Amino acid sequence: MAPRAVLIGPPGAGKSTIGRRVAQALEVPLLDTDVEIERVTGRTIPEIFTEDGEPEFRRIEEQVVADALASHDGVVSLGGGAILSERTRERLVGCTVIYLELSVAEGLRRTGSNTTRPLLNGGDPAQKYRDLMRRRRPLYRKSATIRVRTDGRSPGRVVQQVLAKLDPAQKDSNNTTSEENRSSTP
């Protein structure tokens, strides 16, 4: 069993919102790994960061992601930092992975006043976001099978683009491309 789609991207890209809408459009369930981490641990992500530190959070996240990729056949939305795990990146091979891209400026605009993101709290959040993107962007791009830009686009428009790009990907994963469909028609 494999998910229909896995969403990746930085904080503020819209993974939860877009994931929910794509799952609804595909009539499949959504598994948001950040929500699942909080359900499994009984604590919020900021609490885990504060009490146990980022390494322990990443260990929990890696296990939750592994379980989701192995057992969920709907849409899976990964936390922004899940891509940092080499094992997670290896598990994504063969999955339809949608990278919700956004610029640093747009990411800062969307996350600027959010205090629930532990990695952006304190100090200079803008510099932290730029550093985060410098490290993660190559990993997002390498892992993605589909890329969709989200800057300046409404969630509805992004969902339309995801679904349009997902449809050919789903046909390809079933070994039936649109070219094969056209050539087999009389």
DSSP assignment of 31-86 equals: EEHHHHHHHHHSS-HHHHHHHH-HHHHHHHHHHHHHHHHHH--SEEE--TTGGG-H
Please name every residue paired with 77 in a beta bridge, in sequence order, or none if there are none: 7, 32
Q: DSSP 3-state helix, strand, coil percentages of the chain (rounded to 5)?
A: 60, 10, 30
**Confidence at 181, pLDDT banded by 50, 70, 90:** very low
**Confidence at 126, pLDDT banded by 50, 70, 90:** confident
pLDDT higher at 116 or 35 = 35
**Confidence at 137, pLDDT banded by 50, 70, 90:** very high
Distance, in Å, from the CA atom of 16 to the CA atom of 79, rounded to the nearest integer, reads 9
Cα dihedral 88→84→167→70 (10° resolution): 20
pLDDT at 113: 52
What is the mean pLDDT of the segment spanning 56-84?
Answer: 96
Task: Please tell me what DSSP assigns to residue 175.
Answer: T
**Confidence at 185, pLDDT banded by 50, 70, 90:** very low
